[in-house]
Amino acid sequence: MPICRVALTRSVFVLTAIAAACSLTACGGSDPSPAEQLTASLQTNVKNVVVIYAENRSFDNLFGNFSGANGLFDSTGKLKTFALQKDRNGAVLSALPPTWGGVTAAGQTKVVTQAQSMNLANAPFNIATAFQTSAGVTLDTTTVTRDMYHRFFENQMQINGGANDGFAAWADSGGLVMGYFDYSASGLYKLAKDYVLADNFFQAAYGGSFLNHQYLICACAPEYPSADTATAKPTIASVNKDAQGNFTYNLTTAAASPASAMDGKPTFVLSGNITPQNYADDNKFYAINTMQPPYQPSGNTPVASGDLKLTDPSKATTLPVQTATTIGDLLDKKNVGWKWYAGAWTAATTDGQQDPSAKRTVIYAGDSNGVASTTAVDFQPHHQPFNYFAKFDPNANAAYRAAHLQDYNDLVKDAAAGTLPAVSFYKPEGVYNQHPGYANLNDGDQKITDLVAKLQASPQYKNMVIVITYDENGGAWDHVTPPKGDWVGPGTRIPAIIISPFAKKGTVDHTQYDTASVLRLMTRTFGLDTLPGLKLRDDSLVKNGGKPMGDLTGALNL
């Protein structure tokens, strides 16, 4: 009987898919195309898409030793030969620079100083074992390593037109950019082996977390109108131009910047948070590096004696309210349910709505060394992209905001009850997001794999696709050249794991994807309008001799 029920259920799915495909062609006598059949099957079988968004790891940094993937090692286990890192003058470095300020974050029990990080070969290296001789320690995934540059223009300077040989030269961390972890004992690694690991998946936007979170929901960069005359005086990047007067992606180096990466980290005239006017050939200014939400929780406080739900707009890093179309708007238009769940959201909201003079204990609040812990969770407000948009005004749209922006605890309850919306995003708080500088790999790995187990126990899992990915590379090198797209990206390659009853289990998917491939999957699954940025990205890829991004259906058997 169980076999009969399974067969019958599958037959119903197939018949329903065929009927849907027929409707796509209006039953005009012609057979549905393979693409139409796939769309029909996707819409019949997939009812829930869950995106889990971790932090700041390149593909090679975590999965460079994954069997069958385009990683660091050949089939015999030998490290491949890669383009050598170059100095700022274009000459090949004879060795990697020191890790400026030391490898390990403050307060770690295992310490590797700057001096102990010197004289590494110009090549990728295992972070765990590289300093056994110089520092007498073996690091592991419980170690918090120092943070590294992950900014818009710096990322492009490191990619260096696709050569990926400028990472050490243009890092503020020196040689650490070339380090990788043996991540094979982790829970996420096991999930990648059991399900699908995508090894050709790129961060959608160059640079850091702020811009990639924005791109995740709108496939766009936020605007800052009249940034050059704004009373808040946001910082506008100083960028070089070519001989024809066109902007390049190279920041203007300061006169006192060390000529060689061996002598110190680079310094710039201004690595600002806003593009120069007309950088995107549309006469506008765009926010590209970390800016703060106009609503609490925010990294900027409310105005003294003002509305405690709102952020002080006079601060240089407070972004004006955004109004671009988001994936949330398109889901609403089709009456498709969705939520953004964030770890520590409730606590951070309370923390943000204190008097400006009160000390923050949740928002950007790690321990005394700036490291996150279970008692100092280090909530990151610039990881909450919907909180920048007018539709989430806490006064004008309080009910809508409460319905869509919720806490991790709500995610757990909804999963257990089988009441998850069709689209769910989950953003871990600092302690669990795996971000170098304030978090280790181990804590986030345990949290995320535990959540996957909870989702798999949900009655909704039978029709679910879970995508675990990272917002950006965190400054870490990767050897794969990003495809040439539009002015926003894509940037460096990052990991992505696809988990589903429909996953092509135990495989590596080599399809070209970027962060917004999850938006493409949602668009196809729920019949949404296409965000303009998705069309721009695909058109730009084709114009530059490439191919459009995939929508993750290559990882699924449908």
In a domain, 543, yes or no: yes
pLDDT of residue 43: 98
Domain span at residue 249 reads: 81-182+238-271
CA 330 distance to own-chain centroid: 21
In a domain, 70, yes or no: no
Angle between helices 187-194 and 441-456 (to 10 degrees): 40
In a domain, 488, yes or no: no
Same domain, 252 and 103: yes
Q: What is the DSSP string of 462-493?
A: GGEEEEEEES--TT---SSPPPP--SS---SB
CA 491 distance to own-chain centroid: 11
Same domain, 209 and 296: yes
DSSP class of residue 253 equals B
| Low pLDDT (below 50) residues in the chain | 1-27
In a domain, 53, yes or no: yes
The two three-digit tokens of residue 234, written as one number: 């946001």
Q: Coil, strand, or helix at residue 114?
A: coil
Nearest to 49 by CA among 528, 530, 444, 538: 528
Beta bridge partners of 507: 196
pLDDT of residue 293: 98
Exposure b/e, 170-200, CB count within 10 A at least 16 = b: bbbbbbbbbbbbbbeebbbbebbbebbbbbb
Cα 221 to Cα 215: distance, rounded to the nearest angstrom: 7
Same domain, 87 and 137: yes
Q: Domain total for the chain? A: 3
Q: What are phi and psi of 449, to 5 degrees?
A: -65, -35
My answer on whether omega of the bond before 258 falls inside 30° of 0, hence cis, is: no
Same domain, 134 and 264: yes
pLDDT of residue 23: 46
Q: Can you point out the beta strands (E) in 20-160?
A: 48-54, 125-126
In a domain, 419, yes or no: yes
Q: Coil, strand, or helix at residue 89?
A: coil
Cα 104 to Cα 113: distance, rounded to the nearest angstrom: 7
Same domain, 312 and 288: yes
**Bridge pairing between strands 423-427 and 48-54:** parallel
Nearest to 274 by CA among 137, 424, 153: 153
Same domain, 248 and 350: no
DSSP class of residue 1 equals -
pLDDT of residue 30: 80
Burial class (CB within 10 angstroms; exposed 0-12, middle 13-18, buried 19+) of 29: exposed
Same domain, 258 and 133: yes
In a domain, 478, yes or no: no
Same domain, 6 and 19: yes
In a domain, 106, yes or no: yes
Q: What Rg, from alpha-carbon coordinates, does the chain have?
A: 23
Same domain, 309 and 332: yes
Beta bridge partners of 426: 52, 341
Same domain, 306 and 371: yes
> Residue 249: enclosing H or E segment and its boundaries?
strand 247-251
pLDDT of residue 29: 58
In a domain, 499, yes or no: no
Same domain, 406 and 515: yes
Same domain, 303 and 325: yes
